[in-house]
Amino acid sequence: MNWTDIGAVTDVPLRGARLVKTQAGCIAVFRTAEDEVFAASNACPHKQGPLSEGIVHGQKVTCPLHNWVFDLNTGEAQGADEGRIAVYPVRIEAGRILLEISALQNRSAA
Amino acid sequence: MKQKLVVIGAGMASGRVLEHLREQAPDQYDITLFNAEPRGNYNRIMLSPVLSGEKTYEEIVTHDDDWYAQNEITCRFGEHVVGIDRHSRTVTGQNGAVSYDKLLIATGSAPFIIPVPGKDLPGVIAYRDLDDTNAMVEASAKGGKAVVIGGGLLGLEAAAGLALRGMEVTVLHLMGHLMERQLDEAAGYLLKKDLEDRGITVMTKAATKAILGEDRVEAVLLEDGTVLDADLVVMAVGIRPETRLATDAHLEVARGIEVNAQMMTSDPDVLAVGECVELDGQLFGLVAPLYDQAKVVAATLTGEEAAFVPKELSTKLKVTGCDLFSAGDFAEGEGREDVVFRDPSRGVYKRLVIEGDRLVGAVMYGDTADSNWFFGLIKDGTDISDMRETLIFGPAYQGGGQADPLSAVAALPPEAEICGCNGICKGQIVQAIEGGAIDLGAVKATTKASASCGTCTGLVEQLLQVTLGDGFEMPTAQPVCGCTDLSHEDVRRLIKSQELKSQEAVWQELGWKTVNGCHTCRPAVNFYLLADWPLDYTDDPQSRFVNERNHANIQKDGTYSVMPRMWGGMTTPQELVAIAQAAEKYGATVKVTGGQRIDLLGVRKEDLPAIWADLNRAGMVSGHAYTKGLRTVKTCVGSDWCRFGTQDSTGLGIKLEKRLWGSWTPHKVKLGVSGCPRNCAEATCKDIGIVCVDSGYQIGVGGAAGMDVKEVERLVDVATEEEAIEWTVAFVQLYRENGKYLDRAYKWLAKVGLDWVQEVLADPAERAALVDRFDLSQSVYQTDPWAERARPDVAQGFQPLADFTLEAAE
């Protein structure tokens, strides 16, 4: 495992998100009202809407372009829409957000 | 051992065959699908809304790449089939051959091109597929003149679409009235009048002699010598079955490929379906029989017994606002009687053709609400002698004569067809509803009813109401969203009466079903709280749509547009220099807007704080072009410059904009101030529009020029500028305190009534109180969001949290 410090929990707005750029594409890091963090692909599978700009509610995010809703635990689209966003391991340690980036490196190497 | 099935043509008929096959016998066939178009199956009936801009191509795709992949169909799209060899049982495409055990020909039809000189000139388009549609959309972007040859269904839909896209359109029709195969003369006349009201010129008995032009089309010459200028010519005179492959393969072909009731051609291993076939001398062009054929093809291919029986057909025109319907046989003849009803003021015409005790034909124009009922009577050959007297008034007048709008649908027999496209009858829909499909979406998903052209949506909704009775939620009391059972109105009332001043209080006290709402309710609740409690509640950016959170408009590629405020549409050379420098520095595209401002498009999110800082330095603030709030105040030059101006309209516009900017409202608010009744600022289609006259100021409210176009209604006439400002501010505050989130002012007015608004605002004390409450709110919210976010600590939030692309590059 390759846990990398990407910033403080408080750098991400409550019920909001920030962007992490990687060689293999952009990742959105979400912070829920309960101070949980999630990491997922930033691009909605529908029309590539930037999910880091979506409204975060519960453990879900709504794409700002056409209102697709994704569960941040599984990445599955909710309701009638069908699709999935990649989700990545992320955790909080001493107020810092740690992202497991080996999965991404593998992806870019592949 | 799987058998091999090759399908030539990915149209609506073969698409339906593949669906049935994969449902009924998923493993029986290896399937290869050829399509000359470089794409899969889409809803061809909906090309007209794509042409008119009411829908996009993406919305009409019925089978996407995922579907073909999941169903393991080998797709050879964009590849023409060169030939069929029935001895070796192979189909040869441009990229090679593939063998088959069963072959399905679904080549559809080709447009008929009238053999006149000039028919091959660039700019002459047939209307058949998406490429034709796109070519027309592209051609119409330049404006100019279009001539549509052919006044049938397809031609008229093309004409209406091109007119909507701003072209000057002439329709040429060879016969004496439009759509002569579906309409009688009277209905044809009403249709012509409707089209002419939309600015389309209709010429009947017009025969095309030649299409003129050097390098591309320039004009159309008629037999009588008339020359019509044309930048675009659309040929829509008809279609003929595409039979070339079948003919070359020595299958039996008449006008179409001949098939039997099992849809087999003269070779039992070769089937055909759709517009390319002919059965008992009949051709098929509408979608309903094609779907019936598709069922039979699937049955034949899986060894089931089935037979295709052609049914009576009805026609509808998909031109928004033209309601017409025809079915059966309506030619005059011996032993036939007509019943005609006309209402010239409403443009309504209905004609029933009766033979003996049966209804044999019906034509309706302007009011087609009862068309399905009449169509049922024709199809079933019902004895109508008992209701002959009142037949033309429709089902509501049969037996008892109640005018309950639902009685018509309630009276339909279970086998009455509701969705003509998919052949879904009332019984199937009622069964689905009783089985748990209790809203429109669920009915669509389980039965496909109203899922194709959508004209039966209203009927399906009525069926929901009839079947569920009280169980069907009346649209008037729609809950905000799935998070609560309360309506917007209820939520607003409870926030005020229970003095709820935070989101948490709303969730808790009103029993929200989710932790913190969703993307639908949270922005609404956020607005209600800040509008009612400006001092107690703090606006929550995370409950706002991206544009309002980032204070710029997100574009489809993820960049943003930035628009500084120009008070009353006035600017200075210094401001223009600053805008020009910013555009150059951040690589923005520059667009002058309809609201008298300048838009800078294509700015990256990371650059937003910097461009705002630059514009702030030149004295400009956010134009709020992205908010549910005050947008612009459009003005004319007024008495300052104009020889007709009666008052200082520019000055009043600037005063209003300075007073109102920064305020949040249920939906966007646009103002206009014109200096005289010539109305150069187009004030009479704004949310609030003021027209200056010699005696003072006419204040109108509730105008719109978007999805709906509406003229303002007069709120009041006042004598002085101070009064005009007071009334305007009071009106905005009343709207802020009472409007439903996302209702424009005109929608709110339609609910509460202008009378009520006038009554409230006529009271000077009430007016003053409203103005006070507005100013109190402005003391908090009238700040430049750009200046706040250009500060370095806040601006940091617009950058990525981490950037590994830079590290990797080092």
Q: Which of A7, A23, A60 sits opposite B804 (nearest CB)?
A: A23
pLDDT the model gives residue B455: 60
Q: Is B542 on the interface with A (CB under 8 A)?
A: yes
CB contact under 8 A, A20 and B522: no
The predicted pLDDT at position B407 comes to: 62
Residues of chain A contacting B793 with CB distance shorter than 8 Å:
none
pLDDT of B705 higher than 60: yes
Closest Cα in chain A, distance from residue B447 (Å): 16
Alpha-carbon span B222 to B211, nearest angstrom: 9
Is B396 or B277 the better-scoring residue by pLDDT? B277
Report residue B809's pLDDT band, with 50, 70 and 90 as the boundaries: very low
In this complex, the residue of B516, B554, B801 whose CB is nearest that of residue A20 is: B801
CB contact under 8 A, B545 and A64: yes
Report, as an integer, the average pLDDT of B626-649.
94
Instruction: Search chain B and give the residue with CA nearest A83.
Output: B66
Cβ count within 10 A of residue B275? 26
| Interchain contact B446–A (C-beta under 8 A) | no
Q: Which of B544, B800, B805 sits opposite A23 (nearest CB)?
A: B805
Chain A, nearest residue to B794 by Cα: A11
State the average pLDDT for chain B. Answer: 89
Which CATH number does the domain housing residue A96 bear?
2.102.10.10
Annotated binding residue B676: yes
- Best CA proximity match to B648, nearest among B635, B664, B658, B657: B635
Question: For residues B50 and B43, what is the distance between their CA atoms, to the nearest angstrom?
Answer: 11
What fold does the segment set B113-237 form as a domain? FAD/NAD(P)-binding domain (3.50.50)
Q: Is B456 annotated as a binding residue?
A: no
For B7-32, what is the mean pLDDT? 93
Distance CA B249, CA B254 (A): 14
Architecture of domain B545-622+784-810: Alpha-Beta Complex (3.90)
Closest residue of A to B504, CA-based? A33
Least confident of B308-312, B394-398, B705-709, B749-753: B394-398
Nearest CA in chain B to A82: B66
Of the candidates B542, B546, B800, the beta carbon closest to that of A21 is on B800
**Where along chain B do its domains lie?**
3-109+241-301, 113-237, 488-544, 545-622+784-810
Sheet holding A69-71, edge to edge: A55-57, A60-62, A69-71
- Report mean pLDDT in 10-residue bins for chain A, 110 residues: 90 95 92 92 93 95 92 90 91 93 57
**For the residues B778-789, what does the mean pLDDT come to?**
94
Q: For residue B123, give how far its alpha carbon lies from the nearest alpha carbon of chain A (Å).
A: 33
Q: Does the pLDDT of residue B473 top 90, yes or no? A: no
Q: What is the pLDDT of residue B405?
A: 53
3-state secondary structure of B252: coil
Judge whether residue B139 has pLDDT over 80: yes
* Residue B1 exposure: Cα atoms within 13 Å on the Cβ side: 3
Q: Do B804 and A22 touch (CB under 8 A)?
A: yes
Chain A residues within an 8 Å CB radius of B516: 15, 33, 57-58
Longest dimension (CA), chain A: 39
Nearest to B803 among A21, A47, A56 (CB): A21
The CA radius of gyration of chain A, in Å to the nearest whole number, is: 13
Instruction: Indicate the residue type of B254.
Output: A
Q: Is residue B594 within 8 Å of B632, Cβ to Cβ?
A: no
The answer, for A13 touching chain B at a CB cutoff of 8 Å, is yes
Tell me, what's the pLDDT at B583? 97
Rounded CA gap, B205 and B187, in Å?
17
- Is B803's Cβ below 8 Å from some Cβ in A? yes
How would you class A84 by CB atoms within 10 Å of its CB: exposed for 0-12, middle for 13-18, buried for 19 or more? middle
Q: Answer whether B797 touches A (CB < 8 Å).
A: yes
Residue B409 has pLDDT above 80, yes or no: no
Report the 10 Å Cβ neighbour count for B144: 14
B642 is in an annotated binding site: yes
Mutate to test the interface with A, among B542, B547, B548, B799 (most CBs of A within 10 A): B542
d(CA A80, nearest CA chain B) in Å:
10
CA distance B293 to chain A (A): 29
d(CA B572, CA B576) in angstroms, rounded, equals 6
Q: DSSP letter string over B735-791?
A: HHHHPPTT--HHHHHHHH-HHHHHHHHHSHHHHHHHHHHHHHHHHHH-S-HHHHHHS
pLDDT higher than threshold 90 for residue B711: yes
Q: Could you give the CA distance from residue B200 to residue B197 in angstroms, rounded to a whole number?
A: 7
- Residue A59 sits in which domain range? 3-103
Q: pLDDT > 90: what percent of chain B?
A: 58
Q: Would you say the CATH fold of B545-622+784-810 matches that of B3-109+241-301? A: no
Q: For an interface test with B, give the residue of A2, A4, A53 to mutate (most B CBs within 10 A).
A: A53
* Contact at CB, B522 and A55, closer than 8 angstroms: yes
Residue B287, C-beta contacts closer than 8 angstroms, at least 6 positions apart = B12, B45, B421, B452
A56: chain B residues, CB-CB within 8 Å: 542
**Mean pLDDT value of segment B196-210:** 90
Token reading at B339: 């019943």
On whether residue A69 sits in a domain, the answer given is yes
Q: Are A60 and B518 an interchain contact pair (Cβ–Cβ within 8 Å)?
A: yes
- Is a pLDDT exceeding 70 seen at residue B260? yes
Q: What pLDDT score was predicted for residue A104?
A: 65
Domain B3-109+241-301: which CATH number of 3.10.20.30, 3.20.130.10, 3.50.50.60, 3.30.1490.20: 3.50.50.60
Residue B636 annotated as binding?
yes
What pLDDT was estimated at residue B125? 92
Per-residue pLDDT, B477: 54
Tell whether A37 is within 8 A of chain B (Cβ).
Answer: no
Cβ-Cβ contacts under 8 Å, B519 against chain A: 54-55, 57, 62, 67, 69
Chain A CA closest to residue B514: A58
Segment among A11-20, B32-41, B69-78, B799-808 with least mean pLDDT: B799-808
Selecting from B541, B542, B801 the residue whose C-beta is nearest the C-beta of A7 gives B801
Mapping DSSP to helix (H, G, I), strand (E, B) and coil, where does residue B527 land?
A: helix
How much is the pLDDT for B406? 65
Give chain B's radius of gyration (CA, Å).
31
CB-side neighbour CA atoms (13 Å) of B671: 31
Residue B401: per-residue pLDDT: 41
B518 touches chain A (CB under 8 A): yes
A110 within a domain of the structure (yes/no):
no
Please write the tens of the pLDDT for every residue from B304-344: 999 998 877 776 666 666 778 888 777 666 777 878 787 76
In a domain, A108, yes or no: no
Partners of A50 on chain B (C-beta within 8 Å) are 546, 554, 558
pLDDT confidence of residue B320: 61
Tokens 């005109």 sit at which residue?
B746
User: How many CB contacts within 8 angstroms connect chain A with chain B?
Assistant: 87
Task: Give the tens place of pLDDT for each residue, B346-375.
Answer: 778 888 888 888 888 888 888 887 888 888
Copy the structure tokens of residue B698.
Answer: 């006419």
Q: Is residue B404 pLDDT above 60, yes or no? A: no
- With CB atoms and an 8 Å threshold, state whether A13 touches B797: yes
A73: in domain? yes
Q: Which distant-in-sequence residues (6+ apart) come within 8 Å of A53 by Cβ?
A: A17, A64, B546, B549, B550, B554
Dist. CA B542–CA B525, nearest whole Å: 12
More confident residue, B513 or B300: B300
